């Protein structure tokens, strides 16, 4: 299948291009310089030049805190651009796979959240991403909306790279322990996205690393799996105030994906170890078990 990936230099975009190539799709990688998704002329030129059967939109405004003071700019990228892209894809009978986020939910759930749970974003970022979903659903009949969470991969920026940098300082890490989610390696997500290119009906899919943890749990795993010896101190959200409010619980049930008969994504810990291996930071004790990452 001929697949055009937008935002191809990002965490998810770069891994999706890589994964699609591995399973035999013809992957066309468009970076922001090659295709600016806020520019209708640039988008239609890319669609008409390459004539893809599927577009995977990995381009977005992803700076969650910065969106609080720049909601209009975030909406241009996360809501208006996907709307225009959805119309352009629909007019050409192209399947549009669009990536969204767990931050469309308000964190009041206590068990994994199904695809049809009512969204209620707490942040500007979440509001703009929800508006993007709604536009894609309304304007492109052959759409696949994929919500993921706590993504790490490529050259970031992401939580894992931040922790690796802080570990170098040797000071205790003080990390929030009262937000729960499912960390997801972009490599595992990218592989699943390339399945949804030609598998499954249109609709909304939750795709996340299996299992769940807190930011403190993830930081502790990073320390352990790199073989570092740094203390990881649990703190409440109140001790690490951020501009945007995050959901306290945003584990997504991957129900629609499982209903296709697809296996669950590997665990977040497996994804973490694969990523650390890629970065050359996996503890030597763990390397033998990961020879083929």
Output the residue with the shortest Cβ distance to ligand NAP: 10
Q: Does 59 engage in binding with ligand NAP (CB under 6 A)?
A: yes
CA-based nearest residue to 246, from 88, 76, 64, 20: 64
From the list 28-36, 46-54, 170-178, 193-201, the region that binds ligand NAP by CB under 6 A is 28-36
Residue 149 or 267: the one with the smaller Cβ distance to ligand NAP is: 149
Establish if 149 lies at the interface with ligand NAP (CB under 6 A).
Answer: yes
Q: Is 151 in the site for ligand NAP (CB under 6 A)?
A: yes
Interaction between residue 123 and ligand NAP (CB under 6 A): no
Report the candidate in 207, 47, 199, 38 with the shortest Cα–Cα distance to residue 132.
38
Number of residues that bind ligand NAP (CB under 6 A): 24
Task: Give alpha helix (H) positions in the chain.
Answer: 11-22, 40-50, 71-75, 81-91, 124-139, 159-169, 186-195, 215-226, 255-259, 268-279
Does residue 7 belong to the site contacting ligand NAP (CB under 6 A)?
yes
Phi, psi of 261, deg, nearest 5? 85, 10
With the C-alpha atoms ordered 181, 187, 190, 195, is the resulting torsion angle positive or negative? Answer: negative
25 binds ligand NAP (CB under 6 A): no
- From the list 150, 185, 215, 268, which residue makes contact with ligand NAP (rule: CB under 6 A)? 150
Q: Among residues 13, 20, 52, 266, which is the contact residue for ligand NAP, using CB under 6 A?
A: 13
Which residues are 103's β-sheet partners?
none
- Closest by CA position to 186, among listed 285, 286, 99: 99
Q: Does 101 bind ligand NAP (CB under 6 A)?
A: yes
- Kindly state the helix (H) or strand (E) to which residue 55 belongs, with its residue range: strand 54-57
For ligand NAP, the binding residues (CB under 6 A) are 6-7, 9-13, 31-32, 36-38, 58-60, 62, 77, 99, 101, 129, 148-151
């Amino acid at each position: 299948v001929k697949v055009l990936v937008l935002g191809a230099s990002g965490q998810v975009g770069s891994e999706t291009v890589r994964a699609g190539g591995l399973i035999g799709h013809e992957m066309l990688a468009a970076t922001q310089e090659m295709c600016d998704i806020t520019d209708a002329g640039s988008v239609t030129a890319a669609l008409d030049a390459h004539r893809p059967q599927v577009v995977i939109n990995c381009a977005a405004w992803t700076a969650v805190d910065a969106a609080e003071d720049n909601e209009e700019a975030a909406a241009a990228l996360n809501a208006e651009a996907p709307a225009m892209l959805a119309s352009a894809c629909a007019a050409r009978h192209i399947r549009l796979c669009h990536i969204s986020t767990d931050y469309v939910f308000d964190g009041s759930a206590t068990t994994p959240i199904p695809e049809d749970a009512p969204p209620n974003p707490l942040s500007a970022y979440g509001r703009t991403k929800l508006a993007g979903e709604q536009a894609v659903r309304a304007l492109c009949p052959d759409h696949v909306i994929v919500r993921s969470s706590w993504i790490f991969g490529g050259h970031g920026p992401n939580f894992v790279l931040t922790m690796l940098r802080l570990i170098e300082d040797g000071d205790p890490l003080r990390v929030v322990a009262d937000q729960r989610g499912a960390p997801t390696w972009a490599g595992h997500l990218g592989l699943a996205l390339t399945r949804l290119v030609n598998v499954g009906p249109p609709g909304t899919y939750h795709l996340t690393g299996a299992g769940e943890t807190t930011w403190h749990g993830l930081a502790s795993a990073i320390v352990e799996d790199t073989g570092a010896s740094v203390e990881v101190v649990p703190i409440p959200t109140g001790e690490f105030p951020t501009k945007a409010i995050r959901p306290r619980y945003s584990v997504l049930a991957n129900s629609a994906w499982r209903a296709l008969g697809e296996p669950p994504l590997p665990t977040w810990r497996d994804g973490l170890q694969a990523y650390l291996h890629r970065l050359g930071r996996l503890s030597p004790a763990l390397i033998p078990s990961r020879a083929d990452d």
